[in-house]
Structure 1
């Protein structure tokens, strides 16, 4: 174990927390490691909504390049940020045990829910689901790392902003005033951390495989299959969640129009042994129920923006 594993990570507080978690787990197994922080395009360009930037893997691309160039050996990501198709030569090395999957609303009081209000989020998925439930509300764009977004909420007159609970919990910035959005389906693989590794790197592949959580891997694979089959490379308001209950898998998936008015959803419960192609098959059902036309409309609208 003389090789030092260079861990690539974004330099936000949350990304560094995630990378340090992997670092500690590898070192507990006897491996030597060092962190190599980099700044991604998604962290540098904060004045445009993510979907307008038109870059696949905007938070992962810089680390992909660093891996291919041999500057880092592995990369740690929030799995929901990782494109469903990994670059040539890079593979999924491990999915760590998943944290909370839910979205939360950080708010300044909840009276606005039954009236007019303004909510902030940079996510098409969150925006569409919010407008579907609260069509009279306004949704404004919110970008930046977790701390930046919390500060922007504080500094503006918005009623609330939507966050992933896992991110705020990990760096201990979960505010006092929040509610869990039980009705909102999360992004595929939300709450999960993934380690990317080069396919040819036998040493690092073996090392990170020891951190893999089998059940988290199964659930996130199903959700990402659903996403991959639906999106065809297009950003869209897609939610998915697979949960293992006893010996079953309970899957829920949804696709919304950008304005939240159209909603296609599916729910399946199958035996854990029958999880193969579950996400793909559910996505095909959605596509056959009008999803193809809806995805074409979404792509056309985003291409114009």
Structure 2
């Protein structure tokens, strides 16, 4: 195994390459030879439309999926929150790395006085938009696309008051400005802050080797969050947030999930604390609770709005 070079597929953005190099280092530490293969995804090329308008599930992962299926790469590294909840046939999740910061942050430009008045906030995420408008209905939210560096530059060049980012991305690239605050009230995207490695199911040697990088606690928590997302049938675009964490002292999983209308006016939230032995159906059960509590109608309305 050690003699074969593992080809690591990644998008070519700075953050994606950082993630691939992190996996590469861990594999090198196991004694593996590696090579990074960078490709451009449609999500990186088409920047003039909001993600939900592109209508493709896995816009950032599709190119790498094809490369894996054609055996042009051996593994692919993704931000787990970009990965569709149902993986393509013949592609399997091999390892989830230990999670980084799960929080969203607001990067602001000239103070925070606007929070109590009118203001304009930028984000390309329906989840962030809906939660922001729920809390600040007097604000205007505008679309913001591109990689981390591009989005920071667009904020800098604009007349917006601020933009919402995942803390993990800015921290990994050492780009977090001083002018930021943590949005501890905002429920993150399912699997936010986690990196996942996938491989071709037939590549048994690779699967065995790379699975040594798996962090079980992160795997369980992200599984719960993604199961919640899948049960609500959100894909990557509906305003759905979910966060699970393990409390070692009590040996319990604490979970919060939320579904909102696109305008932020409706919000259905669920919170649960269960014994760690009950984790396998937690995402499913909490999503059912939301669906039974008005979520079925809300999801139908969201899908209708997104089709317009």
TM-score by length of structure 1 reads 0.99
Matched, 1:132 2:140: no
Partner of 1:197 in structure 2?
Answer: 199
Q: Deviation of residue 235 (structure 1)?
A: 2.7
**Cα contact 1:234–1:299 (8 A) shared by 2:** no
Matched, 1:97 2:101: no
Alignment of 1:45-64 (within 5 A): 45-64=46-65
Alignment of 1:47-196 (within 5 A): 47-108=48-109, 109-196=111-198
Q: Secondary structure at the match of 1:276?
A: helix
Distance 1:80 1:44, change over 3 A: same
Partner of 1:272 in structure 2?
Answer: 276
Q: Deviation of residue 234 (structure 1)?
A: 7.2
Q: Secondary structure at the match of 2:181?
A: strand
Partner of 1:6 in structure 2?
Answer: 7
Q: Secondary structure at the match of 2:58?
A: coil
Partner of 2:40 in structure 1?
Answer: 39
Q: Deviation of residue 177 (structure 1)?
A: 0.4
Which aligned segments of 4 or more residues in structure 1 are displaced greater than 2 angstroms? 232-235
Number of residue-to-residue matches in the alignment: 304
Partner of 1:227 in structure 2?
Answer: 229
Q: 1:73-115 deviations in whole A, cap 9, x for unaligned?
A: 1000000000000000001000000000000000011000000
Any stretches of 5+ residues in structure 1 without a counterpart? none
RMSD over aligned Cα atoms: 0.7
Distance 2:221 2:195 in 1: 13
Q: 1:194-239 deviations in whole A, cap 9, x for unaligned?
A: 0011111111101111100000000000000000000254731000
Matched, 1:260 2:264: yes
Partner of 1:243 in structure 2?
Answer: 245
